[in-house]
Amino acid sequence: MSGSAGSDTSHIHVVVLAAGASTRFGSAKQLIRVNGRPLMLSVVSRAVELAGHSVTVVLGANAPELAPLLRHSPASIAINREWTEGIASSIREGLTHTPATADGVLIALADQAAVTTEDLRRLAGAWRRNPASIATAQYAGAVGVPAIFPRWCFRDLNELRGDRGAQVLLHRHVDRLIRLPMPSAELDIDRPEDLLALEQNTDLKRRGDTVNS
């Protein structure tokens, strides 16, 4: 684990879901380059900055093309051979690779390209202040991933089936949520036109950084 993760008493394991076939995008969106880097590699790098070696990337469709991207990453690869079932199968696969020492699992999507390392650190900080709760991103008037689920949620996560993701648990345990505003999580890359929104988002951020510097 990295120093930032190891200095905290609660161990968070990150599971990055990247097993989908990108049917709406038309090609493997995990491979598209954003700021010169493949999308999936950028997302995984942010997870590694948070949790060091305690990161599992779940691949499924296009795994032979995607796995080489992570050759030099501290993250581990898990192959979901049941990816056609839907996102629940990837969550279950990720959990099987979550170490027994983990107090919580952070579930992230490989296509949430605008979520920053700082967003993940804020989420981890919010959860560590109340580790019996679920810490979830709040955006677009709802809650969703990235989200951190404590160990008491693992059984429920393992019982998910089909294309129903972790949001099922967020609705089931609404009284145990810590909501963290995270507008960046609203943007995911599902279609080619989403790339334009990402580029505009990046340009706005750069201008803001220039003004504030």
Check whether 1 has a pLDDT greater than 90.
no
**What pLDDT does residue 83 have?**
95
**What pLDDT does residue 197 have?**
61
Q: What is the CATH number of the domain that holds 115?
A: 3.90.550.10
pTM for the model stands at 0.85
Arithmetic mean of pLDDT over the chain: 86
Q: Between 117-128 and 39-51, two packed helices, what is the crossing angle to 10 degrees?
A: 40
**What pLDDT does residue 17 have?**
96
Nearest to 163 by CA among 93, 105, 109, 84: 84
CB within 8 Å of 208: residues ≥ 6 apart = none
**What percent of the chain lies above the pLDDT cut of 70?**
79
Average of per-residue pLDDT across 72-101: 97
Check whether 155 has a pLDDT greater than 50.
yes
Nearest to 27 by CA among 57, 58, 56, 65: 65
* Distance of alpha carbon 110 from the chain centroid: 6
Give residue 150's domain range. 3-212
What's the number of domains the chain is made of? 1
Confidence of residue 37 (pLDDT cuts 50, 70, 90): confident
For the segment 116-137, what is each residue's pLDDT rounded down to a tens digit? 999 999 999 999 999 999 999 9
